[in-house]
Amino acid sequence: MIHKIADGVFSVGSVHWERRVFDELIPIPDGTSYNSFLIFGKEKTALVDTVDPEKTHELLTNLEKLKVERLDFVVANHAEQDHSGSIPAVLKKYPMARVVTNSKCRGMLMDLLHIPEEKFLVVEDREELSLGERTLKFFLAPWVHWPETMLTYLMEDKILFTCDLFGSHFATSRLYAEEDAKVLEDAKRYYAEIMMPFRVQIRKYLKWIGELEPRIIAPSHGPLWKNPEFILKAYGEWVSDNLSNKVLLPHISMHGSTRRMVDRLIDSLVERGIDVVPFDLGKIDLGRFAIELVDAPTLVLAAPTVLVGVHPMAIYAAYLVNALRPKLKYFGFMGSFGWGGRALDHIKAQLTSLKVESFEPIMVKGLPREEDLEKVDSLAEAIAQKHRELNLFKEV
């Protein structure tokens, strides 16, 4: 698909309408796109990022349609194959082209795609590259989303090419985001799944990105932002320390005992004015779970013991939470067991990256009795107290 962004600047990437899973892990219910950008200068022509190898033919066809006879530079903002995977095919078609990237990304591309070292032009942070009357400026921005990531700014046109950063897995025939709730949710889902572990770095980057005052932010997934303020403001909120008055409650139950504790905790928290977001771990949508993690202060995991260990779905949830490194401050665990086990030890072993304060766990032998459920009420009260200390209760 070809879109004109400005005179001599085109989007030439590919929309992957039917893709539903990324990295064989992340659900992408609205498909995705791999955006690639062609820039004609008076002297040189550059391509910024390529497309997933599955879509190489579409990129090459688009370049032919635009009558690109000579390509001087292929800028690689990121080594991951959904953006770099077509570089070898582009270099085959345009043997004079050089791959422009930073030294770390060069090493990764040599490993991942076996691109020879002599094909690279290595750039430093804030280095500029002239295309004639147009100039590319490169900003190293590690960890959005790998250690080698960088952003490329087309200075005269004020277009910032951000690769994964500010992207969304959203297949659309439109070039620009519509700024509605759906677009924002897809962008938030993407942030939560991909960028949340790096929110501290992103917070720093937002400052100088804002100072650039880009006219357009052009990520390599999903629509472009012609009003950058919209997505910059949303990111500013997501990476902030702001929290909501809610509890995430991922849970699973085999014979209903843990379920009784879950139901009691939901009621008890709601009675105290706290929102609850339960997730059945047997049917969890990872994206929705990640979105709710963005501003959750508290998570309570509820799972039974299977033989001598915790239910494996609880391990999966704890592993994901640990990997996504959300803002969580408080953690609770509750569940039932039959004859013992080390469920809590197994969960704690998964949460090594989180700096959370843990509530007293509630482990119940068999079906919970009323005195067990009163302990669940006490947990709800302990959570409410912590939320009060965080000033999360709004005045009504």
CA distances (Å), origin 236, targets 117, 244, 307: 38, 15, 45
Count the alpha carbons within 13 Å of 9 in the hemisphere toward its beta carbon: 22
Q: Is 82 in the site for ligand FEO (CB under 6 A)?
A: yes
Asked whether the beta carbons of 98 and 87 are under 8 A apart, the reply is: no
Q: Is 83 in the site for ligand FEO (CB under 6 A)?
A: yes
Tell me the Ramachandran region of residue 62: left when phi exceeds 0, alpha when psi lies from -120 to 50, beta otherwise: alpha
CA dihedral 199, 221, 151, 218 (to 10 degrees): -110
Q: Is 311 in the site for ligand FEO (CB under 6 A)?
A: no
Nearer to ligand FEO, 80 or 292 (CB): 80
Q: Closest separation between CB of residue 144 and ligand FEO, Å?
A: 9
Nearer to ligand FEO, 198 or 337 (CB): 198
Nearer to ligand FEO, 35 or 45 (CB): 35
The amino acid that residue 197 corresponds to is: P
Among 16, 19, 55, 78, binds ligand FEO (CB under 6 A): 78
CA proximity to 2, closest of 75, 63, 85, 73: 63
Q: Which residue is nearest to ligand FEO (CB)?
A: 80
Interface pattern 208-247 for ligand FEO (x via CB under 6 A):
-------------x--------------------------
Q: Closest separation between CB of residue 84 and ligand FEO, Å?
A: 9
Asked whether the beta carbons of 119 and 173 are under 8 A apart, the reply is: no
Q: Closest separation between CB of residue 387 and ligand FEO, Å?
A: 35
Site for ligand FEO in 127-166 (CB under 6 A): 145, 164
Nearer to ligand FEO, 238 or 337 (CB): 238
Q: Going edge to edge, which strands form the sheet with 128-130?
A: 128-130, 135-140, 150-154, 159-163, 216-219
Binding range to ligand FEO, per CB under 6 A, among 40-48, 76-84, 231-239, 285-293: 76-84
Q: Is 292 in the site for ligand FEO (CB under 6 A)?
A: no
Query: 227 φ, ψ to 5°?
Result: -120, 85
CA dist 80 and 162 (Å) reads: 14
Among 49, 58, 72, 80, binds ligand FEO (CB under 6 A): 80
The residue count for binding ligand FEO (CB under 6 A) is: 7
Query: 52 φ, ψ to 5°?
Result: -55, 140
Site of interaction with ligand FEO (CB under 6 A): 78, 80, 82-83, 145, 164, 221
